[in-house]
């Protein structure tokens, strides 16, 4: 067996280096390839390193079994897929070789010279470097078209972000394949142009430098500085704690001095860091559950330092021209587990951010105010995109990318979608569009629950629904076909968005493809679900799915006519084929009828179990009375009735239960 992504077939994957990060990378590959019988080889020249790597991996697999993250058969397959060896010849016939050895130019050069002699010309060469440019690492490889840096973040098996850094010689087809491969196995790949330290590490290490400089200048203790950094930037752990956890003192010490030479003179390894490396001692950070109080005067100074550094460093990276705003915003938020920098600046105002950075740069020699930030302050804000648009064969491909919330919809995203579709409708070179979601789990996980919960009156609920209707109706009435390519499940607003498209296709074999789970949370669909679903699959089937909130598999969705087909191969390529068929008229759109449905008799008697009888009454009114109306009037009715839910006790109960306990705990409705 093997894992296939487009024309990239993986039967064997080798990792060189069994130190700190190599085993974690191997564990991730073992997990995602467990059902594909892909052989994973870990090579190291030290038997002790291999023994430690095996213990580390087996311990984490055992933990996964204990927490039920892995089923026994999966855990067994993961363990069996990994092979540990001292001998380089065992990497022969690998499809990918990933080097995760010491951050040393000569060592990496020696490794890849050996790899080049053992592996064939089709093998891809990756280096998990944290700083070094691909031109340096692969300088002695004959065919550099297959070489790139893949920079993982701690912990590599769980942190989803990975920087992909090709050189000028890397083949574009290989870059596209690798970006797509990583997305298909659950990572968030960010493409970065070649530059020392890439895009994210100069920010992380720059914040570490800031923290250490604050310590040297007496602005606070290690514990106080860590606490202030966490509070200011939303960090999961402070800079000093992060250095301890990752063993990052030596790498950061070296990296800062190198960045001082290669990037800008502000970067340098502070004396306290050099001493910590020489002594080999960790930073004296707070213990588990230890409460750290930061005096107000210290807090104010530290907050300005960290905001100034974070905003200045983010702007500096943009000035290098190696990554765009949206990618860097996403990478910092998820890879470093902190507030997104450009979103933060927009929230406080880019003029205020510029003021903070100007003060910071005035106090830090060698750091100029970033040009990009000065420009953003003039234009008003940073343009951050949650929808990625590409064009292939005169067909626009729109990808909703909000991976932290599984592509959940909010008003901002809906407005961005409408702008894209408006541009597409006016572009004579575009014949249609494919709409999909980022990642391998969800097309769209639903509407943003916190935004829904912010509606306090029926009128606010009504107005929010009408804003969503505005975008979905625009898509519905497009003068060009729109195919929804469902890369994963579509819940709530995600299914409503899909139903507004000309037709829908999805990945084959989804146990849950669509669901309208609103009744579980104590309200009704508000983005057209009560009107489009019955008109697409029939009143009986549609009402049963809506009123019970039960999930529908991809197989059933095709059978009832909601989805055109399941797709086994490349979903986007098939979406493009369907667009061409719709454009030629060889297949017809599958859209909700605008005329009333023919309704016979009373509403169905459906068992709703623990669900709210009050909400079911409102929902039934939306479904059955809306079915008798023209589509436009039915949507108006739905929006009004959604607003009516806001005054019920059960909507409050449902939302509070969801936000406190998640979707698996049933709400205790009172039917009022």
User: Token match 């340098």: residue?
Assistant: 268
pLDDT at res. 563: 98
In whole angstroms, give the CA distance from residue 333 to residue 44: 33
For residue 183, count other CB atoms closer than 10 A to its CB. Answer: 21
pLDDT at res. 366: 96
The chain-wide mean pLDDT, for the chain, equals 96
CB 75 within 8 A of CB 61: yes
Question: Is the model's pLDDT at 253 over the cut of 70?
Answer: yes
pLDDT at res. 292: 95
pLDDT in tens, 431-466: 999 999 999 999 999 998 888 889 999 999 999 999
In whole angstroms, give the CA distance from residue 619 to residue 543: 9
In whole angstroms, give the CA distance from residue 459 to residue 457: 5
- Residues of the chain with pLDDT > 70, as a percent, come to 99
Question: Is the model's pLDDT at 417 over the cut of 90?
Answer: yes
What average pLDDT does this structure show over 387-402? 97
pLDDT in tens, 328-376: 999 999 999 999 999 999 999 999 999 999 999 999 999 999 999 999 9
pLDDT in tens, 97-131: 999 999 999 999 999 999 999 999 999 999 999 99
pLDDT in tens, 528-570: 999 999 999 999 999 999 999 999 999 999 999 999 999 998 9
What average pLDDT does this structure show over 200-218? 98
Question: Is the model's pLDDT at 1 over the cut of 90?
Answer: no
Four-residue CA torsion sign, 532, 535, 536, 542: positive
Q: Which of 441, 442, 445, 494 is nearest to 472 (CA)?
A: 494
Question: Is the model's pLDDT at 603 over the cut of 90?
Answer: no
CB 495 within 8 A of CB 515: yes
pLDDT in tens, 462-498: 999 999 999 999 999 999 999 999 999 999 999 999 9
pLDDT at res. 600: 62
Strand 395-400 to 8-10 pairing: unpaired
What average pLDDT does this structure show over 29-39? 95
User: Which is catalytic among the residues 496, 566, 574, 636?
Assistant: 496
In whole angstroms, give the CA distance from residue 75 to residue 21: 20
Contacts for 46 with CB less than 8 Å, ≥ 6 apart: 18
What average pLDDT does this structure show over 622-648? 96
Q: What is the DSSP letter of 625?
A: I
Domains delineated in the chain: 3-191 (3.40.50.720), 201-379 (1.10.1040.50), 387-661 (3.90.226.10)
pLDDT at res. 602: 61
Question: Is the model's pLDDT at 604 over the cut of 80?
Answer: no
Long-range contacts of 355-362 (CB under 8 A, 24+ apart): 356/304, 356/307, 356/308, 356/311, 357/308, 357/311, 357/312, 357/315, 359/304, 359/308, 360/304, 360/305, 360/307, 360/308, 360/309, 360/311, 360/312, 361/308, 361/312
Question: Is the model's pLDDT at 598 over the cut of 90?
Answer: no
pLDDT at res. 601: 59
The pair of three-digit structure tokens given for residue 18, joined into one six-digit string: 């069994």
Q: In which region does residue 485 sit, left (phi positive, over 0), alpha (psi from -120 to 50) or beta (all else)?
A: beta
Question: pLDDT tier at 248 (50, 70, 90 boundaries)?
Answer: confident
Contacts for 135 with CB less than 8 Å, ≥ 6 apart: 167, 168, 194
In whole angstroms, give the CA distance from residue 219 to residue 241: 18
| Helices 296-320 and 222-233: angle between axes, nearest 10 degrees | 60
What average pLDDT does this structure show over 312-326? 98
- DSSP string for 512-569: --EE-GGGGGTS---SSHHHHHHHHH-HHHHHHHHHH---B-HHHHHHTTSSSEEESS
The pair of three-digit structure tokens given for residue 175, joined into one six-digit string: 């870059």
In whole angstroms, give the CA distance from residue 511 to residue 521: 22
- DSSP string for 46-72: -HHHHHHHHHHHHHHHHHHHHTTSS-H
pLDDT at res. 507: 96
Strand 96-99 to 565-567 pairing: unpaired
Strands in 344-491 per DSSP E: 387-392, 395-400, 432-437, 442-444, 482-486, 489-491
pTM for this entry:
0.94
pLDDT at res. 576: 97
Bridge partners of 432? 395
Q: Is 656 among the catalytic positions?
A: no
User: Which is catalytic among the residues 183, 518, 566, 574?
Assistant: 518
What average pLDDT does this structure show over 240-246? 93
Q: Is 121 among the catalytic positions?
A: no
């Amino acid at each position: 067996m093997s894992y296939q992504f487009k024309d990239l077939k993986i039967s064997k994957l080798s990792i060189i280096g069994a130190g700190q990060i190599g085993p974690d990378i191997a564990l991730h590959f073992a997990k995602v390839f467990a059902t594909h019988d892909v052989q994973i080889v870990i090579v190291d020249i030290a038997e002790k390193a291999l023994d430690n790597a095996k213990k580390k991996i087996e311990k984490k697999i055992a933990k996964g079994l204990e927490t039920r993250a892995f089923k026994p058969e999966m855990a067994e397959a993961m363990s069996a897929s990994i092979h540990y060896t001292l001998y380089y010849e065992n990497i022969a016939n690998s499809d990918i070789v990933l080097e995760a050895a010491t951050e040393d130019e000569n060592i990496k050069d020696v490794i890849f010279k050996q790899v080049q002699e053992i592996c064939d010309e089709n093998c891809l060469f990756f280096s998990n470097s944290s700083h070094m440019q691909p031109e340096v690492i692969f300088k002695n490889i004959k065919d550099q078209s297959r070489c790139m840096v893949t920079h993982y973040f701690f912990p590599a098996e769980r942190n989803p972000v990975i920087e992909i850094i090709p050189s000028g010689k890397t083949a574009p087809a290989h870059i596209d394949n690798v970006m797509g491969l990583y997305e298909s196995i659950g990572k968030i790949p960010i493409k970065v142009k070649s530059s020392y330290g890439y895009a994210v590490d100069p920010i992380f290490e720059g914040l570490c430098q800031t923290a250490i400089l604050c310590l040297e200048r007496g602005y606070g203790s290690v514990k106080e500085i860590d606490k202030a950094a966490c509070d200011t930037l939303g960090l999961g752990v402070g800079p000093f704690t992060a250095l301890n956890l990752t063993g990052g003192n030596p790498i950061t010490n070296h990296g800062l001095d190198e960045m001082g030479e290669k990037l800008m003179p502000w970067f340098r390894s502070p004396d306290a860091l050099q001493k910590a490396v020489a002594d080999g001692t960790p930073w004296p950070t707070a213990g588990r559950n230890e409460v750290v109080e930061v005096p107000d005067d210290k807090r104010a100074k530290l907050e300005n330092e960290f905001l100034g550094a974070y905003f200045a460093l983010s702007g500096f990276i943009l000035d290098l021209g190696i990554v765009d705003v949206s990618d860097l915003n996403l990478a910092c938020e998820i890879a470093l587990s902190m507030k997104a920098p450009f979103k933060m600046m927009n929230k406080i105002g880019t003029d205020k951010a510029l003021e903070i950075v100007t003060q910071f740069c005035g106090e830090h020699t060698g750091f100029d105010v970033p040009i990009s930030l000065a420009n953003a302050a003039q234009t008003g804000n940073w343009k951050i995109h949650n929808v990625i648009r590409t064009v292939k064969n005169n067909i626009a491909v729109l990808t909703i990318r909000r991976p932290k919330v599984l592509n959940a919809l909010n008003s901002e995203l809906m407005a961005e979608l409408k702008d894209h579709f408006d541009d597409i409708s006016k572009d004579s070179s575009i014949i249609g569009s494919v709409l999909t979601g980022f990642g391998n789990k969800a097309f769209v996980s639903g509407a943003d629950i916190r935004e829904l919960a912010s509606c306090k009156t029926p009128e606010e609920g009504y107005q929010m629904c009408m804003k969503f209707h505005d975008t979905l109706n625009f898509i519905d009435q497009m003068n060009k076909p729109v195919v929804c390519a469902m890369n994963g499940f579509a819940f709530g607003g995600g299914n409503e968005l899909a139903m507004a498209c000309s037709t829908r296709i999805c990945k084959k074999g989804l146990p849950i493809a669509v669901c309208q789970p609103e009744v579980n949370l104590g309200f009704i669909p508000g983005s057209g679900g009560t009107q489009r679903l019955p008109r697409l699959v029939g009143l009986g089937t549609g009402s049963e799915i809506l009123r019970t909130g039960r999930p529908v598999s991809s197989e059933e969705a095709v059978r009832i006519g909601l989805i055109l087909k399941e797709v086994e191969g490349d979903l986007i390529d098939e979406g493009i084929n369907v667009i061409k068929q719709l454009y030629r008229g060889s297949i017809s759109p599958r859209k909700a009828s605008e005329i009333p449905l023919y309704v016979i008799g009373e509403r169905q008697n459906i068992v709703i179990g623990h669900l709210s009888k009050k909400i079911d009454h409102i929902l039934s009114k939306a479904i059955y009375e809306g079915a008798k109306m023209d589509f436009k009037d039915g949507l108006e009715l739905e929006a009004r009735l959604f607003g009516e839910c806001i005054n019920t006790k059960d909507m409050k109960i449902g939302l509070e239960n969801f936000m406190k306990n998640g979707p698996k705990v049933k709400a205790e409705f009172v039917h009022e």
